[in-house]
């Protein structure tokens, strides 16, 4: 979410002068354990699936036996290098109408923290949603305590019940990823610096969870994210999809990947950059906010930005040239915006506070204060090695990603590949967001190269409604749906909780919007 995606851009421009991107890339590659190699060994050593069937392993039938005060640790013979530590959250935490759990998936020396809330309706039947915030480097506690979780932050002392939570009809995960984000950590301080690398840990996470908790096995599974999630989720879902072949090979149940949901995503960075003109200089969302002179200069810069980025980031990836191209695009299309003092996550309002302090939403500070409290950490089971003061967004993680130019690798083709395999895709966009806005998202969905593309392009946008009132516009064909949400910024569930829950419930139920 609070995707400090913009800070990343600024940061990457600064860092580019200090450290060459190639040296940064190889630095991280040499020092981070190569998960891929391990995973191959893991699969091969169990290729007959014998362990799973040999009665050596008893998965947990029911969570109710879990302790509220201490972690229970589970392993699985098919994943010899992995564990799951999980505990129940005590009553009084967040949502007393549904069971909640926290824990870590341990992937050798890497430890991913998660919250898991069962559905308020029918946990034994309802779908499972995986949620991640963006950044890169931002904690999913932002999504939990500010947007779609079962409770929202009230003040630094606590939370209050949130009636329009997405666990109304689904079991929902909130995962702090990659390592180094939120309560997740790595024992030797390794940092993940690309989405593809992060995807390995996520795929392991998902398979270990479902193997250990067979109650959820085979359940329809949706992978959702916001903002930089537009880069993460297509890659994560593809990794989970491809991993299924291995799961079947070793006699395990494949993950029932049913859909991906992306809110205000950064899927196609170039269309996003170019759409900054439309948001500032046309009434796409609000009345033009820039003077004519500024808009003319922006418009004249677009052909050069597009041509340069296409030749140096897309046609081939030339890291130094791509960086120079995006520096040019950024100077021409982004800098004028920041002179206006508007909130980049909602162009209809001004930023509240200093963006580097509040992310324009002072409520984020309550979340950090709450999650820094020792009693809260003990209750959640946060590992003592996690630093004391909670950061909503990790600057070291975002820096590592920007050094590899992770954001300049669009993920449209992953979306197309998932669609071709009948994975449904929901692209929803708060209409007033500037940073990952609806215009850029509409353009790349229309341009997407897939077998349903022609039918999708032939559809006109039409209104969709909640309680008889227009909530936004939508277009849908085959497995792909694009939808805008009126009156919402970057964080749709924060601004429009009722509409966002309706949207998700209709999506899970496969109803027309
Ligand atoms: C939080 O709790 C502390 C200690 O009980 C109290 O002093 C403070 O006023 C509370 N803050 C709010 C915003 O209620
Ligand atoms: C996957 O989930 C869908 C939707 O709930 C269900 O219809 C289907 O049977 C599931 N597939 C498997 C293999 O369990
Ligand atoms: C944590 O935050 C408090 C209050 O802002 C500050 O005094 C303290 O030095 C910080 N601790 C660390 C380890 O950064």
* pLDDT tens string 109-124: 999 999 999 999 999 9
Candidates 244, 247, 231; CA nearest to 199 is: 231
Q: Where are the domains of the chain?
A: 29-269+409-508
pLDDT higher than threshold 70 for residue 215: yes
> Averaged over 47-66, what is the pLDDT?
51
111-138 burial string, b = 16+ CB within 10 Å, else e?
bbbbbbbbbbeebeebbbbbbbbbbbbb
Question: Can you give the pLDDT at residue 241?
Answer: 98
Question: Can you give the pLDDT at residue 21?
Answer: 31
Question: Can you give the pLDDT at residue 46?
Answer: 35
Alpha-carbon span 335 to 326, nearest angstrom: 12
pLDDT digits (tens, 9 = 90+) for 284-310: 999 999 999 999 999 999 999 999 999
pLDDT higher than threshold 80 for residue 56: no
DSSP E strands in 396-479: the ranges are 424-430, 462-466, 469-477
Contact 179, 103 (CB under 8 A): no
- Reported confidence tier of residue 189, pLDDT bands at 50, 70, 90: confident
Residue 278 annotated in active site:
no
> Averaged over 324-339, what is the pLDDT?
96
Measured in angstroms, how far is the CA atom of residue 423 from the centroid of ligand 2? 12
Residue 227 annotated in active site:
yes
Binding site membership of 155 for ligand 1 (Cβ less than 6 Å): yes
pLDDT digits (tens, 9 = 90+) for 378-429: 999 999 999 889 999 999 999 999 999 999 999 999 999 999 999 999 999 9
Measured in angstroms, how far is the CA atom of residue 140 from the centroid of ligand 1? 25
pLDDT higher than threshold 80 for residue 500: yes
Question: Can you give the pLDDT at residue 82?
Answer: 85
Minimum-distance ligand to the CA of 390?
3
Binding site membership of 374 for ligand 3 (Cβ less than 6 Å): no
DSSP bridge pairs for 103: 86, 114
Mutate to test the pocket of ligand 2, among 217, 220, 258, 421 (most ligand atoms within 8 A of CB): 220
> Averaged over 146-157, what is the pLDDT?
94
In order of 15, 191, 341, the CA distances from 18 in angstroms are: 5, 19, 29
Atom 1 of ligand 3, nearest CA residue: 389
Question: Can you give the pLDDT at residue 41?
Answer: 32
- Reported confidence tier of residue 282, pLDDT bands at 50, 70, 90: very high
> Averaged over 30-53, what is the pLDDT?
32
Contact 494, 156 (CB under 8 A): no
Strands 127-132 and 72-75: unpaired
Pocket around ligand 2 at a 6 A CB cut-off: 218, 220, 256, 258
Question: Can you give the pLDDT at residue 22?
Answer: 30
pLDDT higher than threshold 60 for residue 156: yes
High-pLDDT (> 90) share of the chain, %: 77
Atom 9 of ligand 1, nearest CA residue: 157
Question: Can you give the pLDDT at residue 270?
Answer: 97
Question: Can you give the pLDDT at residue 58?
Answer: 57
DSSP bridge pairs for 423: none
pLDDT higher than threshold 70 for residue 39: no
Q: Which of 184, 193, 227, 259 is catalytic?
A: 227
Residue 287 in 3-state DSSP?
A: coil
Question: Can you give the pLDDT at residue 86?
Answer: 93
> Averaged over 191-203, what is the pLDDT?
94
Q: What is the DSSP letter of 407?
A: G
User: Please, which residues have CB within 8 angstroms of residue 252's CB and are 6 or more apart in sequence?
Assistant: 49, 52, 78, 207, 211
Rounded to 5°, the CA angle 201-65-58 comes to 60
- Reported confidence tier of residue 61, pLDDT bands at 50, 70, 90: low
Question: Can you give the pLDDT at residue 77?
Answer: 77
Measured in angstroms, how far is the CA atom of residue 159 from the centroid of ligand 1? 13
Residue 26 or 372, more confident: 372
> Averaged over 479-504, what is the pLDDT?
98
Mutate to test the pocket of ligand 2, among 218, 259, 423, 510 (most ligand atoms within 8 A of CB): 218
Question: Can you give the pLDDT at residue 409?
Answer: 97
- Ligand 3 atom closest to the Cα of residue 388 is 13
Residue 15 or 136, more confident: 136
pLDDT digits (tens, 9 = 90+) for 422-477: 999 999 999 999 999 999 999 999 999 999 999 999 999 999 999 999 999 999 99
Binding site membership of 384 for ligand 3 (Cβ less than 6 Å): no
Contact 12, 4 (CB under 8 A): no
Q: What is the mean pLDDT of the chain?
A: 88
Atom 8 of ligand 2, nearest CA residue: 220
What CATH topology corresponds to 29-269+409-508?
A: Rossmann fold (3.40.50)
Question: Can you give the pLDDT at residue 214?
Answer: 85
Residue 495 annotated in active site:
no
Mutate to test the pocket of ligand 1, among 153, 156, 157, 374 (most ligand atoms within 8 A of CB): 157
Question: Can you give the pLDDT at residue 40?
Answer: 34
In order of 171, 261, 338, 361, the CA distances from 354 in angstroms are: 35, 30, 12, 9
């Amino acid at each position: 979410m609070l995707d400090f995606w913009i800070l990343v851009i600024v940061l990457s421009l600064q860092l580019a002068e200090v450290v060459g991107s190639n040296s940064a890339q190889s630095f991280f590659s040499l020092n981070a354990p190569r998960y891929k190699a391990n995973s191959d060994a893991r699969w091969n050593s169990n290729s007959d699936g014998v362990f799973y069937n040999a009665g050596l392993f008893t998965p947990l039938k029911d969570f109710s036996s879990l302790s509220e005060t201490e972690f229970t640790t589970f392993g699985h013979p098919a994943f010899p290098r992995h564990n799951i530590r999980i505990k129940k959250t005590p009553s009084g935490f967040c949502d007393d109408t549904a069971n909640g759990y926290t824990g870590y998936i341990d992937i050798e020396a890497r430890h991913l923290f998660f919250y898991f809330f069962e559905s308020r309706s029918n946990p034994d039947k309802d779908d499972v949603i995986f949620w991640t915030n963006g950044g890169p480097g931002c904690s999913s506690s932002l999504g939990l305590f500010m947007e779609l979780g079962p409770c929202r932050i009230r003040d630094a002392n606590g939370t209050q019940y949130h009636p329009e939570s997405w666990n109304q009809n689904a079991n929902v995960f909130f995962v702090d990823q990659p390592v180094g984000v939120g309560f997740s950590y790595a024992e030797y301080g390794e940092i993940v610096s690309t989405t593809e690398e992060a995807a390995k840990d996520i795929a392991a996470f998902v398979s270990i969870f479902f193997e250990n908790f067979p109650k959820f096995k085979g359940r329809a599974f949706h992978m959702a994210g916001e903002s930089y999630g537009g880069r993460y989720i297509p890659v994560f879902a593809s990794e989970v999809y491809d991993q299924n072949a291995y799961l079947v090979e070793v006699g395990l149940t494949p993950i029932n990947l049913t859909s991906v949901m992306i809110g205000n995503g950064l899927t196609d960075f170039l269309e996003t950059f170019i759409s900054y003109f439309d948001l500032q200089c046309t009434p796409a969302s609000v009345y033009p906010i820039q003077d004519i002179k500024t808009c003319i200069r922006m418009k004249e810069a677009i052909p050069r930005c597009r041509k340069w980025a296409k030749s140096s980031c897309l046609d081939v990836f030339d890291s130094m040239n791509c960086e120079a191209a995006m520096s040019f695009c950024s100077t021409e299309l982004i800098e004028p915006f920041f002179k206006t003092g508007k909130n980049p996550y909602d162009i209809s309002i001004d930023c509240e506070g200093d963006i580097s302090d509040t992310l324009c939403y002072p409520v984020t500070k309550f979340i950090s204060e709450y999650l820094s409290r020792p009693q809260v950490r003990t209750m959640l089971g946060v590992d003592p090695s996690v630093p004391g003061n909670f950061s909503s967004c990790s600057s070291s993680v975002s820096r590592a990603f920007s050094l590899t130019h992770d954001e300049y690798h669009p993920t449209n083709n992953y979306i197309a590949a998932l669609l071709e395999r009948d994975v449904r895709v929901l692209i929803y966009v708060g209409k007033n967001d500037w940073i990952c806005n609806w215009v850029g998202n509409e353009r790349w969905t229309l341009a997407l190269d897939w077998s349903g593309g022609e039918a999708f392009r032939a559809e006109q946008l039409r209104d969709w409604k909640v309680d008889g009132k227009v909530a936004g516009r939508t277009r849908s064909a085959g497995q792909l749906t694009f939808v805008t949400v009126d009156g919402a910024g970057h964080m749709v569930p924060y601004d429009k909780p009722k509409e966002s829950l309706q949207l998700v419930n209709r999506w899970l139920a496969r109803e027309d919007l």
